[in-house]
Structure formats: C-alpha cells, structure tokens
Amino acid sequence: MNATSTASSADGTRIAFWHEGSGPPLLLVHGGLCDHLAWYFITPLLARHFTVWSFDRRGHGISGDTLPYSTEREVEDIDAILQVIGEPACLLGHSAGAILSLLVALGGREFRRLMLYEPPFIVHDARRRPAPEVLGTMQRLLAEGKPDDALRIAMRETVGLSDTAIDHMRSQSGWEHLRQSARGIPNDWQIWDQPFPEHLEELRTPTLLLEGTESPEWIRISTRAVHDALPSATLVELEGQGHAAMITAPESFAAKVLEFLSATA
C-alpha cells in the first residue's frame, strides 16, 4: 500500500487515503467502529485486478472531524477522493459506508459499478428505533473518557449484541482498536438513523447487494429492500457469514466482488 495521502473535503476537513494495485479504480468505504484497515485482508486480493483506494472516514482513523457533523459532509468527503481518482470508479461500501455509497450514487456521480454490503436502514418496522437520548448518552460518555461504556451501548443498540458477547469481545486483542475507533460512534449513529432513500428506481448503475446468512434479520431485511427498489441490482448471499465477511472470509468475499465486476464489465 502506498504512503498516506490526504485530500481536502469541501469544508476543509483533511481525509486520509491510500491506494495500491493497478487497473480500473475501486474505492472502498468502511463502516462503523473501524477505519480503512477493515479492508486489510481483501485489499491485496482486489489489487490484483484493480487500483484499490481506501480512506479513513471523517471521525475515524487519522482523518479529521470538523463539527458540526452531517451525512452531507461525508458524501462530500467521498466526492473529494473521487476527484483525486479522476475517473469513474467502482464503489464498494460496507454497513454505514454502504449507506454513504448509495447516497453518493443518488447524488448523480458517475460510477462504473456499485456494491453495497448490508446497508443498515431500519425498514418495515424490522426493529425498534433507539430512544432519541441514546446518542446524547454516548456523546457524554465519550467526552468523559469512557469509550468502553459508549461502545457497549453502540453494540447493543445497533447489531443487538448481548452483554455476554460484548464482555467476550472486551477480552480479545481487537478491543483496543475498537476503543480507538469509538470517537466515530456519533457519526456512524447519525448515518444509521437515515431514512430509507427515495427515488432508488432512478439509479441505473449495475449494483451488487451482499448479505451474510448469519447477519441480524433486520439488516438482511434492509439489504433486500434496497435490492428490490433498484432496477439493476443483483443480490448475493455470503453463506455462513455475518456482518464482517471481508474479515472473516476475505477470499470468498473478494471472489463474489470480482465475479460481479467481471460479469457486468
């Protein structure tokens, strides 16, 4: 992977990015509670065929986080990276990053292909919405230097992890990286609270929807709702996988992506 570079978003926020490989550009947009390293295992697999671009979303990793936050600013961040790329790219987004990728595409940007891995809209009353004060509670905990407590709330309220499962995660080596990513929780929360987008039937870009068979049911319902609303979409299940298949099954995940890109070339 090349050395770290930065792009300036429309509001002046510095966004850190990296790229490697050769071929058509493929931009990766990570989800919540992580940074560009969420793509660590699949980047070299994809870079055999594409120039793979990744970046730290604002409030994550080493990118800036100018306040006040809005999803529109994150859309502008992606646009800033696309301007650096300088040609139409394929776009792959995961979770909150999938929602952002869809919003960018709906904004009229020209893409070669769009790939969305489990965009987590709340649709069809598939789950309850958290109380409005939950965001404020997590912001207060982060301001008080209590990222573990904020993480516990975020994990329980989003993907529905039990306290037992969270305690197990806290005993693992990866918990420290989650703690370092906790500052981005408020940003991710506001993306997750986005309403289901209108006018999806107008998006003609060939699109791949990916879902894990073991992912939470409400996220699978959301993924299928996006698929059903798009006129040029393909739905692919990742057998035996949950919400992080690019980490738990990178070879299989990359194969599904490359198969779609090859078939629609």
How confident is the model over 19-48, as pLDDT tens digits? 999 999 999 999 998 999 999 999 999 999
The whole-number pLDDT of residue 8 equals 98
Model pLDDT, residue 27: 98
Q: In the 8-state DSSP scheme, what is residue 120?
A: -
Counting residues of the chain whose pLDDT is more than 70, the rounded percentage is 100
Answer yes or no: are the C-beta atoms of 33 and 157 closer than 8 Å: no
The per-residue pLDDT for 132 is 85
Q: What per-residue confidence (pLDDT) applies to 110?
A: 86
Please report the domains of the chain, with CATH numbers, ordered by start residue. Answer: 5-125+194-263 (3.40.50.1820), 133-189 (no CATH)
This prediction has a pTM of 0.95
CB 241 within 8 A of CB 228: no
pLDDT tens digits along 202-236 = 999 999 999 999 999 999 999 999 999 999 999 99
- pLDDT band at residue 125 using 50, 70 and 90 as cut-offs: confident
178: how many CB neighbours lie within 10 A of its CB?
18
Amino acid identity of residue 30, one-letter, is H
pLDDT surpasses 90 at 127 = no
DSSP string, 179-207: HHHGGGHHHHHHHHTPPPPS-GGG--S-E
Instruction: Work out the burial of residue 9: count CB atoms within 10 Å of its CB; fewer than 13 is exposed, 13-18 middle, 19 or more buried.
Output: buried
More confident residue, 90 or 172: 90
CA distance from start to end of the chain? 25
- Give the tokens for residue 167: 């305690």
Alpha helices of 57-146 — where are they, by DSSP H?
71-85, 96-106, 133-143
CB atoms inside a 10 Å sphere around CB 119: 31
pLDDT band at 174 (very low <50, low <70, confident <90, very high): confident
Q: Are 97 and 121 in contact (CB under 8 A)?
A: no
Cα 191 to Cα 185: distance, rounded to the nearest angstrom: 10
Query: Token pair of 173, please?
Result: 């080596």
